Structure 1
Amino acid sequence: MERGVDRRAFIGGAAGLAAGVLISGPGAIASRSGPAGRRPHPLSDVRFSQGVASGQPGERAMTLWTRVDGAGRRGTIRLEVSRDSDFRRLVSSRRVVVDGADNHTAQVRVKGLNPGERYFYRFEAADHATRVGRFTTLPGDSRQPVRIGFFSCQAWEAGYYVGHRGLAREDDLDLLVCLGDYVYERPFYEDDGVRRDRTGENNDGEVQTLPEYRAKYALYHSDANLRQLRARAPMMAIWDDHEVEDNYAHMRPGEATLDRRIKFEKRRRNGYKAFYEHMPFGPAEGERFRLYRSIKLGRTAELFMLDERKYRSDQACDEQIPCPPQERNAEGRTLLGAEQLGWVKRGLNRSRARWKIVANQVMAMALDAPANNPINMDQWDGYGADREELFRFVKAKRIKYVSLLTGDIHTFFAGDVTPTGRLAGEGGAEDPVATEFVGGSMTSRGIVDTIEATTGSPPAPSIQAGLADSAVVRSNNPHIKYAELSRNGYGLLVARDDQLDVRYRSPESVERRRSPIETIARFRVEAGTPQVEVLEPGP
């Protein structure tokens, strides 16, 4: 339960609002009438157990989120936005409609704010209020440094969210980016997990219906560290597969479902709707549930968010390895789909930002074990034609300052990206055209454990040998400059005009509720040089 706020203190001073602040969004304005023209009434006897969040940042706008528990009907709550944490300098105080059709979530677009300014916000119903959240609007046409925290893969049962607590305590983050697997549709590590997931019809943690996916988000948001993180800075997220179903591709289901109770098309729709209900942003314009979009972060950086699940071809070779090049690199096999691929090419080429940061679900660098034998057809290795087209375009157009932030694989990597994924391609040597930082996982287990958990059997001995330790991985993959195979955690990126600075931060253990956080690696990318420099290698 979130900390309550005295109602008199909450509503006091509402007359001092700044002019020009607007509020919009689905169901956001209380003046909208309900059935037969009836205006919705204020809600009482409700709680805000899932906290607050902000997202889709702009220079003069921000989207604010909460969810109301126990509403039972359509009604209104109140949103306040202030320049100070005591809410004495209010810029907005407005009633907001919540409705059961959207799980009584509020997703409110606040406009008319000032660029580069910090604000505080909270929601209230009757005698209860949310915790106070905060955000800073984007700086506008500025070259000031941009600080991004990135994370992914937070399986509930695999560990405690100690990394979230550490990330929430990092100073002055401009943006949080989740790189996928925000929730898991079923447990994969329950046999030796540290906590239990009893969502789903059978109480086995597997969710398929819309109410079940909603219960999954409620479970994850019951963790105080995750709620604290969401309240601390604006957050954007891309989904990977587990927000719907492990290893699905476009309209093809995966193979890890324990007890399929509904058709996959409906399950996918349920997963997408629940995702957007629980995020502080809605779908991008263009199509229902569209995820991919870009956000300008001043003149220093632009963030390109990709969707590598909704449009992809099925995994090459049915994910069996070895997989011959003629299949994994076949023309017509796509990870992004033609429309999204064209969009990101145009966006990178037209961007006037110094750094083009790509939020990317699956690894673009090759992962071979042994050398020249890719082991993961789920990543860009299984979609060679798309990788070639995108990164040869980057090379041909001389687009500089491209760096990818990646999740999915539960391992910390950092290295250089080429059109073939390797420094030595089939046509000879390849020069890097971008860099990539793979941010590990918050709780989910490493590569070998995950392969066994998802397939039911351990990987082949040759693959296990190729993943035995970091030195072996780097020997087989010289484009990978850093590898840490056993730690969990998150990444911090600071974009400056002349360089990128990246740190990997990790708790000693996610199996203890309290564990100290330490920096395990640090990197630099000089402006104009698409190569990762390792400044502080991990232990």
Structure 2
Amino acid sequence: MAERRDDLSKPRTTTDLPRRDFLRLSLGGAALLAGCGDDEIGDSASAGTSGSTGETTGGSGGASTSNGTSETSGGASESAGSTTGDGTSTGDPSTSGSSGDTSTTAVDTATSGTTTEGDTTTGDELCAGEVIAFDPEAIPLDDETFPLAVMAGEMKPTSIMVTVFIADGAPKTLRIWRKSQEDGFVELIHEAPMIPTPEGYAKLAVEGLCPGTWYYYGFFAGDPDAFTGRSIIGEVRTAIADDALETLTIAMTACNGSSLDWPALEVTADEYYDVFIHLGDMAYNDGAETLEEYRASWKKYLSVAGFKLAYARAGLYATWDDHEIDDNSNFDRETMDPQELQRRQNAMDAYFELVPIDAEGPSYRLWRSFRWGMTAEIIVLDCRYERRPSQKLYISALQMMFLKDRLLNSPCHFKIVMNSVPITNMPLPWDIAANDRWEGYPGQRKEVMDFITQNDITNVWFLSGDFHV
């Protein structure tokens, strides 16, 4: 077991590498052969007549990592239990969709990536930065200026998005770098000012990166020639090139609850993963109404060590569930009441100013997809806030078209659907509140299942949250 890293001021150290390398080398080849040896990679209609599907469920603040045997692992949460993901088939075919860029990930191919930190699928000579004298660990951690988790998201082959909360509201400096061969030096890849809103929120898209490459990033206070403080140092890997085929490790969680701490996330942070997925209910904002109240709730959650550690380990793909706005029973999605509409807008504004998702208000379209080479396409659905119960719509007609398009046309081996609530028809005694999930919208559920079956789409997986198991 790798040594637990309780010091938030330091990035991954070499003490983590033996375990991470062992996982990568021992499982990588076997998982890739097991996951991809039974059909033609990239040919979604070539491997049989019935869609190969499965569902993995996460809940209660634990974190799980997929592996090559369709098992998941993660430390048990001391609050409400660890997430589960046994990789068993639900009997339901599932699909995935993508808008613009699509992403792929191997849910039942679990191993660490096939490149070591700092390596790139395109070659070092194409991705080298400017070697400068810079020792980020020597700069004091300033958790008063940077009190929350730092996050990177929207990982594509050549770009990412970063977000940070800056408590003093003053401009800071973003640096992205790779390790150099010489101590006290780094390869500086990108430097840019981070100009926060008056309330302290800053978000920036970074272009010109290399596919499949691990980068370090951090936010710094003071003059670039003499920084006086810094945030936690984060790591992010860009998506692999469109024609690449590598194993992919995903850590996932959902439903963090209100007990905070979540030691399972701290344990997960000691493992190797390429991507962290959050399936909704990242913060329980029940009872909040004003923008200031939603912001205060988010600050409480994202100041917890578990989030700080886990989100600093890899980039984030996220969807939401009900508690980002309010408990489902207290929210009418078809309301026209001005006060309720304003509350919803406040919740959405607070979510998107913090989470690294490229979406513009006031409508904020959440659904999208991301490709990881030929390995997997990660399809992010919004299964909460486009519902129209009076029209029996679980997702909007436009989102359904997107989902079908990505399921049918994705060239990737795995189609991974990020789905905040299970699509499974739940057995007793869990067969309650069916109207809160796909099961309560049988027409659209059947439409998705039939589409997968009729088009012989294989290797579709739903990753789900909401149920606390």
TM-score (norm 1): 0.57
Measured in 2, the distance between the counterparts of 1:52 and 1:370 equals: 40
Superposed, 1:148-297 pairs within 5 Å as: 148-157=250-259, 160-171=261-272, 173-186=273-286, 206-247=287-328, 248-252=331-335, 263-283=339-359, 288-297=363-372
Q: What is the Cα deviation at residue 313 of structure 1? A: 2.5
Match of 2:155, SS state, is coil
Provide the rounded CA distance (Å) in 2 between the counterparts of 1:4 and 1:132.
7
Q: Is the 8 A contact 1:366 1:374 kept in 2?
A: no
The within-5 A match list for 1:437-448 is none
Q: What letter corresponds to residue 63 of structure 1 in structure 2?
A: M
- Find the residue that maps to 1:146 and give its secondary structure: coil
- Asked whether the equivalents of residues 261 and 305 of structure 2 are also in contact (C-alpha less than 8 Å), the reply is no
Distance 1:87 1:311 in 2: 49
Aligned amino acid, residue 405 of structure 2: R
* Partner in structure 1 of residue 93 of structure 2: none
Residue aligning to 1:61: 159
1:105 equivalent in structure 2: 201
Whether the aligned pair in 2 keeps the contact of 1:284 and 1:292 (CA below 8 Å) is no
Q: How far did 1:46 drift?
A: 6.5
The answer to whether the aligner puts 1:358 opposite 2:417 as a matched pair is yes
- Work out the CA distance in 1 between the residues paired with 2:143 and 2:461: 48
Shift of 1:375: 4.8
Offset at residue 369 of structure 1 (A): 2.4
User: Residue deviations 1:445-501, cap 9 Å, x none?
Assistant: xxxxxxxxxxxxxxxxxxxxxxxxxxxxxxxxxxxxxxxxxxxxxxxxxxxxxxxxx
CA 1:311–1:402 in 2, change beyond 3 Å: closer, same or farther? same
Map of 1:325 onto structure 2? none
Deviation at 1:282, TM superposition (A): 2.5
Q: 1:87 to 1:162 in 2, by over 3 A?
A: farther
The one-letter code sitting in structure 2 at the alignment partner of 1:62 is: I
Counterpart for residue 408 of structure 1: 466
User: 1:304 Cα shift?
Assistant: 0.6
Gaps of 5+ in 2: 1-6, 12-127, 131-141, 223-227
Structure 1 position 116, deviation (Å): 1.2
**Which SS does the other structure have where 2:192 is aligned?**
strand
> Which residue of the partner structure matches residue 397 of structure 2?
338
Please give the residue correspondences for 1:46-57 in structure 2 after superposition, counting only pairs within 5 Å. Answer: 47-57=145-155
Going from structure 1 to structure 2, the CA distance change for 1:266 and 1:284 (only over 3 Å counts) comes to closer
**1:45 to partner: Cα distance:** 11
1:366–1:390 Cα change, 3 Å: same
One of 360, 363, 378 as aligned partner of 1:303? 378
Contact residue 143 and residue 231 of structure 2 kept, 8 A: no
Residues 53 and 231 in structure 1, CA contact (< 8 A), matched pair in contact too: yes
1:116–1:87 distance in 2 versus 1, CA, 3 Å: farther
C-alpha separation between the residues in 2 aligned to 1:385 and 1:92? Answer: 49
| 1:314 pairs with 2:416 | no
Aligned to 1:143: 245
Q: One-letter code of the match for 2:166?
A: V
- Deviation of 1:47 after TM superposition, in Å, equals 0.5
CA distance in 2, matches of 1:170, 1:284: 34
Counterpart Cα distance in 1 of 2:383 and 2:375: 26
SS at match of 2:428: coil
Deviation at 1:235, TM superposition (A): 0.5
Q: Cα distance, 1:222 vs. partner?
A: 1.8
Map of 2:69 onto structure 1 = none
For the residues of structure 2 that align with 1:381 and 1:290, how far apart are their CA atoms?
24
Larger Rg: 1
What secondary structure sits across from 1:57 in the alignment?
Answer: strand
Match of 2:438 among 375, 380, 383: 380
Q: Kindly provide the amino acid, as one letter, of the partner of residue 381 in structure 2.
A: L
> Which of 191, 194, 214 is the aligned partner of 1:118?
214
Distance, in Å, in 2 between the alignment partners of 1:362 and 1:263 is: 27
**2:186 is aligned with 1:88:** yes
Count of residue correspondences: 326
SS of the residue corresponding to residue 227 of structure 1 reads: helix
Counterpart CA distance in 2 for 1:45 and 1:265 is 35
> Which of 433, 440, 448 is matched with 1:390 structurally?
448
- 1:54: how far off? 0.8
Structure 2 distance, partners of 1:241, 1:361, is 9
Structure number with greater CO (CA < 8 Å, separation at least 6) is 2
Distance 1:265 1:375, change over 3 A: closer
1:160 Cα deviation (Å)? 3.0
CA distance in 1, matches of 2:10, 2:210: 29
Q: Indicate whether 1:399 and 2:457 are aligned.
A: yes
Verify the 8 A CA contact 1:307 1:336 in the aligned structure 2: yes
User: Partners in 2 of 1:333 and 1:121 — Cα distance?
Assistant: 45
Q: What is the distance in 2 between the residues matched to 1:152 and 1:284?
A: 24
Match of 1:367 among 413, 422, 426: 426
Q: 1:209 to 1:89 in 2, by over 3 A?
A: same
Q: Which runs of 5+ in 1 are unaligned?
A: 6-16, 20-43, 187-205, 254-259, 316-331, 412-539
Indicate conservation of the 8 Å contact 1:301/1:353, yes or no. yes
Q: Secondary structure at the match of 2:434?
A: coil
Q: Deviations over 1:295-329 (max 9, x none)?
A: 001110001111111111239xxxxxxxxxxxxxx
Shift of 1:104: 1.6
